[in-house]
Amino acid sequence: MKIKSLYFIFIFLIIPIYIFGIPLKNYINNFDKLTYSLEIPKNIIDEEKNLANNYMDIEISDDIKLEKRITESWIIMFPDLANSETKDTFISQLKQMGILSVIHLNSASNKILSVGPFVDKKIAELISTKINKRLGQAGTIKRFND
């Protein structure tokens, strides 16, 4: 009987104290300290005193070269689609293909249906050939400057 009671004391008292003693002691010692917080941090940028409120307040050094760049893109134009019924069916067929960037350009005579803009000319050519193979409409690739 004595061995059985020593066995229960060892299993249910000494081993748990050995395993959980130090973490429990640390938890009790650091109980009053908040270790995790869900507070939203303050925005330090708003508290700075030297904020530039006007674009004239920003100092630009002479070492920085300011350039005006002309950005260009490419579009695929379909000028022969003047009929509204043809346009609607063509747009729905393009959506079935996964092409959602359909734009209408205002020309002198009428609105021209276009697909794009694309950053690279090769991508525009690739999509133009896909449209031509699937839908049988050949579009012209034009440069579109901003």
Domain spans, the chain: 72-145
Closest CA to 81 of 108, 105, 99: 105
pLDDT tens digits, one per residue of 54-89: 656 666 667 766 666 657 788 888 877 766 677 778
Return the higher-pLDDT residue of 45 and 78. 78
**Which amino acid is present at 109?**
S
Instruction: Give residue 50's pLDDT.
Output: 54
> What are the tens digits of pLDDT across the range 100-111?
888 877 766 677
- Residue-wise DSSP of 66-106: P-PPPPEEEEEEETT--SHHHHHHHHHHHHHHT---EEEEE
Whether the CB-CB separation of 78 and 114 falls below 8 Å is answered with yes
User: What fold, for 72-145?
Assistant: Alpha-Beta Plaits (3.30.70)
